[in-house]
């Protein structure tokens, strides 16, 4: 007599594996990352100091670091040239940079796992003038524990993260996030 078995539910197996993976990832995300000299940067969290980073400058002149912009309101955008949604964000950020640079705003782009040539093409195509760093191997993105690209971090002049946005920006959202980090000015638009 042949015993027939109900087919295994592929969806259940996938869900169990996905649940286990999610649990492991959640655990891994909460475990501090250490080096020989102690804990490395963790994810940026509103109300806490911005984690340090250092990446080669696309200009070829040294590094782009958090420390070099101390005392300035700062927007850090992590992007990729392969991310179609990142291109409009870069244009929007360039406009904001032109508008608020005189008030001390600094915007820094960090290209994640990109080549120098693709970053240069993007910067030239969009006429980006703010500093760009190249996180070619993704080490800074990993240190910041990014979960999506683009991710934009808004930092006050005191070095404290005000907000972190994952995904695309629009003009209204950008203005809302810039207001708390920009110095007050009688001629503010």
The domain segmentation of the chain, as residue ranges, is 40-178
* Structure letter (DSSP) for residue 132: E
The pLDDT, as a whole number, for residue 42 is 59
Angle among Cα 55, 174, 122 to the nearest 5 degrees reads: 45
Distance CA 106, CA 76 (A): 9
Q: Is the bond preceding residue 150 a cis peptide, omega within 30 degrees?
A: yes
Residue 24, classified by CB atoms within 10 Å of its CB into exposed (0-12), middle (13-18) or buried (19+), is exposed
The reported pLDDT for the residue numbered 185 is 66
Residue 131 host element (H or E):
none
Assign domain 40-178 one CATH number from 3.10.20.30, 3.40.30.10, 3.60.9.10, 3.30.70.100: 3.40.30.10
| Contact assessment for residue 100 and residue 183, using Cβ atoms and an 8 Å cutoff | no
- Between CA 88 and CA 24 the distance in angstroms is 34
Which pLDDT tens digit goes with each residue over 74-114?
999 999 999 998 999 999 999 999 999 999 999 999 999 99
pLDDT of residue 184: 81
The per-residue pLDDT for 178 is 96
Q: How does DSSP assign 50-114, residue by residue?
A: PPP-EEEBTTSSSEEESGGGTTS-EEEEEE-TT-TTHHHHHHHHHHHHHHHGGGT-EEEEEEES-
- CA dist 163 and 179 (Å) reads 12
- The burial of 75, by beta-carbon neighbours within 10 Å (0-12 exposed, 13-18 middle, 19 or more buried), is given as buried
Residues lower than pLDDT 70 in the chain: 1-43, 185-189
Distance CA 168, CA 79 (A): 10
What's residue 181's pLDDT? 95
pLDDT at 123: 96
């Amino acid at each position: 007599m042949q015993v027939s078995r109900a087919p295994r539910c592929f969806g259940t197996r996938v869900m169990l594996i996905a649940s286990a993976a999610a649990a492991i990832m959640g655990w891994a995300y909460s475990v501090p990352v250490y080096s020989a000299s102690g804990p490395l940067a963790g994810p940026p969290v509103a109300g806490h100091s911005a984690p340090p980073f250092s990446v080669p400058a696309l200009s070829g002149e040294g590094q782009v670091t958090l420390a070099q912009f101390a005392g300035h309101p700062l927007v850090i955008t992590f992007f990729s040239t392969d991310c179609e949604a990142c291109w409009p964000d870069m244009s929007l950020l360039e406009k904001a940079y032109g508008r608020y640079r005189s008030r001390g705003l600094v915007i820094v782009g960090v290209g994640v796992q990109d080549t120098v040539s693709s970053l240069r093409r993007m910067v030239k195509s969009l006429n980006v003038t703010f500093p760009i760093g190249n996180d070619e191997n993704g080490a800074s993105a990993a240190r910041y524990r990014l979960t999506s690209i683009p991710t934009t971090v808004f930092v006050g002049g005191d070095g404290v993260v005000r907000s972190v946005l994952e995904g695309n920006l629009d003009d209204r959202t950008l203005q809302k996030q810039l207001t708390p980090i920009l110095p007050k000015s009688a001629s503010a638009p």
